[in-house]
Structure formats: structure tokens, C-alpha cells
Amino acid sequence: MKHTLTFNPQAVAIWNDKLYIPASKSPDIRVFNADPFEYQRTITVDGMKDPLDIVASDNVLYVSEYEDKLIHRIQLPEENVSNWTV
């Protein structure tokens, strides 16, 4: 399915040919194939309100939230979520 970004991402991470793009003021991370650029799925992170930045490493996504001073850790592919305050 062809997809056009209909939101303005402030952060992007790439891991294993997938783009992970958190939506501003949302608990959702949209997942796309990198090449060709196609929408795959959405990961919803319970408790995430306004992601600021995202990093990917060793099948783990780390998403920071400035206002709530939280780091969300999403283990892939299971999408298990844990978080901690900073």
C-alpha cells in the first residue's frame, strides 16, 4: 500500500530496513518499510503522550518524552513496553 506522511514527524529511527516514526502528541509509532516506502503497521505505546525523540538499537526502540520526563523502551518484535523516569 502506498502511503504519504500526513503528519509532521519530529523524530525518525531506522532499524532492519524499517522506519519508526512517532506521531506528535500521540501514543502511536508508525512503522514503514524503508525501501520501498510503504506503511506496515502502528505500534501504540500505552502511557505515551508526546514523544520527543526516538532511537533504535538491537531490536529495541527508546522513545523520550520531555514534559513527563520518561523513557519508553519497546522490545521488538514482541512490542513489550517498559518505561522509567529520568
pLDDT tens-place string over residues 35-55: 888 999 999 999 999 999 999
Chain-centroid distance of CA 34 in Å reads: 14
Counting residues of the chain whose pLDDT is more than 70, the rounded percentage is: 90
pLDDT at 4 over 80: no
Mean pLDDT of the chain: 89
Q: What mean pLDDT comes out for the span 73-84?
A: 93
What sign has the CA pseudo-torsion 34, 70, 48, 60? positive
